[in-house]
């Protein structure tokens, strides 16, 4: 999926993109336990689209959770001076 060597300046991007694979694996495990995420098989285009949409939506939640790990964000959420919203457009 990714080149064996990643230029140093792209390491954060690579880590960020790798989250999508982990989230997709969780979606697949919930939909069909035992299904290999290496080469998932779907019963048609509609099922594949459903998994992609579910993964996209789950990534919104994942990114909000990641934002909460930043101390400045967590402090502002706690004191009420910041509110986070996740948006998914169709």
Per-residue pLDDT tens digits for 9-58: 778 778 877 878 888 888 888 776 665 555 556 667 777 788 888 888 88
Q: What does pTM read for this prediction?
A: 0.64
Asked if residues 58 and 23 have their Cβ atoms less than 8 Å apart, the reply is: yes
Residue 17 lies in a domain: yes
Residue 39 lies in a domain: yes
Residue 84 lies in a domain: no
Range of the domain at 46: 8-79
Residue 48 lies in a domain: yes
Cα–Cα dist 78/73, whole Å: 9
- Helices 45-67 & 11-31, crossing angle to 10 degrees? 130
Instruction: Give the single-character DSSP code of 71.
Output: H
């Amino acid at each position: 999926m990714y080149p064996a060597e990643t230029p140093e300046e792209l390491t954060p991007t690579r880590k960020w993109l790798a989250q999508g694979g982990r989230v997709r694996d969780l979606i697949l495990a919930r939909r069909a336990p035992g299904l290999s995420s290496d080469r998932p098989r779907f019963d048609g285009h509609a099922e594949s689209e459903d998994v992609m949409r579910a993964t996209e939506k789950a990534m919104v939640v994942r990114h909000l959770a990641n934002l909460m790990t930043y101390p400045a964000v967590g402090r502002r959420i706690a004191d009420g001076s910041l509110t986070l919203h996740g948006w998914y457009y169709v």
